[in-house]
């Protein structure tokens, strides 16, 4: 494949290495110095784009690529209030869009485990809470992964009806506690506590490799397709 990279930070560089190792080529690299050149990415030069940028620029980057009818894999978080807008725009442009809050295979297994545990814990008298820890360069809080976990818990457990990004004493609110620590790729804990015991599931990322590899696999999956996809499609969950 000929792949465009929109965003060339640590994640973009990790993705580039995996792409080259798997025999693909890089058609275009967009970073903060040449951001206007995102409009130059076309189907003639690029089969698919992988985008990891900042929350404030993700939406415009995604729509610029879709406008030129190039399929795009997005891993940016912090812009999801506009998700349906992008889905509708993708369909209007008749191209492909793949989004995941986290591209790690392990995290996506963790999402499913979280949903199953939430069902089992409903009405059992346990309080629940979430903790997410990331590196200090992460700009949004809570993380997109934490939001996906919270939504999965709430959808499968009527003990909670909403989430807040702070401690709470309201029984129906799920607290997500966000911490930022140097050099932490990503840690997510979901905890259920009662007077007699505590049950906790946890995912700890050791490096960015798993995220980068999943994004490349998503690009390989999306190339040549039209429509909107997620990790559930890629992993056949």
User: In the predicted model, what is the mean pLDDT of the chain?
Assistant: 96
Give the residue numbers marked as catalytic.
134, 138
User: According to the model, what pLDDT value does residue 118 have?
Assistant: 98
- pTM of the full structure: 0.82
Domain spanning 2-99+209-235: CATH 3.30.1360.20: no
The pLDDT assigned to 78 comes to 87
Determine the pLDDT at residue 91.
97
Q: Which residue carries 């992993």 as its tokens?
A: 235
Q: How many Å is the Cα radius of gyration of the chain?
A: 19
**212 Cβ contact partners less than 8 Å away, ≥ 6 residues apart:** 11, 14, 15, 17, 18, 103
Low-confidence spans in the chain with pLDDT less than 50: none
> How confident is the model at residue 201, as a pLDDT?
98
Q: Is residue 42 annotated as involved in ligand binding?
A: no
pLDDT of residue 101: 87
Structure confidence at residue 81 (pLDDT): 94
CATH superfamily of the 105-205 domain: Dihydrodipicolinate Reductase; domain 2 (3.30.360.10)
Residue intervals of the chain classified under CATH 3.30.360.10 are 105-205
Residues of the chain with CATH 3.40.50.720: 2-99+209-235
pLDDT, residue 1, reads 97
Secondary element (H or E) of residue 212: helix 209-222
> Annotated binding residue at 101?
yes
Sheet arrangement for strand 48-51: 25-30, 2-6, 48-51, 72-74, 96-99, 227-229
Q: Which segments of 104-185 are extended strands (E)?
A: 127-134, 162-164, 173-180
Name 74's bridge partners: 51, 99
Asked if residue 74 belongs to a known ligand binding site, the reply is: no
């Amino acid at each position: 494949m000929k792949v465009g990279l929109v965003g060339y930070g640590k994640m973009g560089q990790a993705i580039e290495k995996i792409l080259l190792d798997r025999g693909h080529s890089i058609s275009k690299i967009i970073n903060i110095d040449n951001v206007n050149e995102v409009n130059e990415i076309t189907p003639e030069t690029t089969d698919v784009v992988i985008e990891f940028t900042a929350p404030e620029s993700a939406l415009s980057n995604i729509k610029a690529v879709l406008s030129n009818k190039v399929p795009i894999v997005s891993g940016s978080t912090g812009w999801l209030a506009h998700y349906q807008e992008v889905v509708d725009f993708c369909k209007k442009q008749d191209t492909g869009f793949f989004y995941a809050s986290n591209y790690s295979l392990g995290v996506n297994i963790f999402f499913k485990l979280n949903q199953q545990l939430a069902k089992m814990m409903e009405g059992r008298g346990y309080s629940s809470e979430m903790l997410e820890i990331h590196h200090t360069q992460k700009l949004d809080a809570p993380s997109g992964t934490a939001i996906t976990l919270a939504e999965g818990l709430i959808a499968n457990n009527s003990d909670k009806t909403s989430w807040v990004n702070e401690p709470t004493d309201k029984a129906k609110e799920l607290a997500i506690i966000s911490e930022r620590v140097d050099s932490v790729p990503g840690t997510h804990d979901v905890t259920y506590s009662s007077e007699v015991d505590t049950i906790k599931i946890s995912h700890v990322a050791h490096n960015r490799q798993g995220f980068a590899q999943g994004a490349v696999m998503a690009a390989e999956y999306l190339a040549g397709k039209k429509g909107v996809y997620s990790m559930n499609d890629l992993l056949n969950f």
